[in-house]
Structure 1
Amino acid sequence: MSIHTLIDDLIDREGDYVDHPADRGGATRWGITTAVARANGYHGAIRTLPRAVAAAIYESVYWRQPGLDRIATRAPALAAELFDTGVNMGTATAILFLQRALNALNRGQSDYPDLALDAAIGARTLAALDAFLARRGGAGEGVLVKAVDALQGERYLSLAERRPANEAFLYGWLAGRIA
């Protein structure tokens, strides 16, 4: 699946303009907050953010900058999951989920060394991913996707437990973001 298809699907899920009173991120359009739009050069009203501008932000900030394009050449389903997780929780969190999963799945470092949890897709993270996929074959990618989903689900539950206002979003998070 291409990044453009992923972005189109994401924008369709996120919807048009939303300003939910319990959302600490404030008003969004196409899932882009005012703060993210401003940080990326858009200065109009968030209510009128063009879809094409949102798509460009998603590709730049949530796909290319964190290096998910490099993950996609190795494991496209994993890259798609990390993209969606990164949009909702931040790219650093998504990459930390991947690094934690790779560390837990390296069989006591017999397949590859543990990674520093640095939230960066660098040479060591890519080497660990390559080693994991070589060792586990085609099923390995699916296992990594499940691990990221599990960490994401736990985080959603924790967010709702810590801040009851987040319960307004929990069902949608679990239904729409966890495979």
Structure 2
Amino acid sequence: MDIGTLIEELIEREGGYSHHPADRGGPTNWGITQGVARENGYAGDMRTMPRAVAESIYRRLYWERPGYAFAAEIAPDVAAELFDTAVNMGPAAATGFLQRALNALNRNQKDYPDLTVDRRIGAKTLAALGAFMALRGRGGERVLLKAVEALQGERYIALAESRPANEAFLYGWLANRIG
């Protein structure tokens, strides 16, 4: 799993500077909101934020800090999806989707114990992921990926239903973030 490639693909999807009136995140560049940029030390104009700043933020906040590099050693395709979902919804949401899916797929705890959905990657989540992959293999990884994406899709629809302005983004979220 090459995080550099994932970041390249992500930035290509996100594009450059944007300030959509319906986007509560305000000005963004390379997919990084102004708030996240400020929290991570960038104080300049968002229009001119260097790509390297975005790359650093993506690597640190959305790959290393949530522990997706560890998940990538077990299930690389799932880890790639967690990274992309974390960028769009936050690492807690992405990790919660994984934990919920693992719980639903453990055959009433016959394969591994249920996880507490604490929305953090830890030893128990990694052990459950490892047990799932040992039992189900790469075909199982595709099923787990579908389960995570189903939860993600449901959340996108709920966001559009709860705030009509989000309907401006729903098509793109579904087209570019799932599958």
Q: Shorter-normalised TM-score: what interval?
A: over 0.9
| Mapped partners of 1:131, 1:74: distance in 2 | 10
Which whole-Å CA distance do the structure 2 matches of 1:127 and 1:139 have between them?
Answer: 18
Read off the aligned partner of 1:122 and give its amino acid letter.
G
Residue 23 of structure 1 aligns with an amino acid whose one-letter code is: D
Q: Which runs of 5+ in 2 are unaligned?
A: none
Pair 1:95-2:95 in alignment: yes
Matched letter for residue 68 of structure 2:
L
The TM-score, its normalising length taken from structure 1, stands at: 0.98
Could you state the TM-score of these two structures normalised by the residue count of structure 2?
A: 0.98
Give 1:116's aligned residue. Answer: 116
| Equivalent in the alignment of 1:74 | 74
* 1:22-101 alignment runs, 5 A limit: 22-101=22-101
1:137 alignment partner, SS class: helix
Aligned length: 179
Runs of 4+ in 1 over 2 A off after TM superposition: none
Query: Shift of residue 157 of structure 1?
Result: 0.6
Which position in structure 1 is the counterpart of 2:106?
Answer: 106
Deviation per CA, 1:16-74, whole angstroms, max 9, x where unpaired?
00000000111100000011111111111111110011001000000000000001111
CA distance in 1, matches of 2:88, 2:105: 25
| RMSD over aligned Cα atoms | 0.7
What is the deviation of 1:95? 0.0
Percent identity between matched residues is 68
In structure 1, distance between residues paired with 2:99 and 2:51: 32
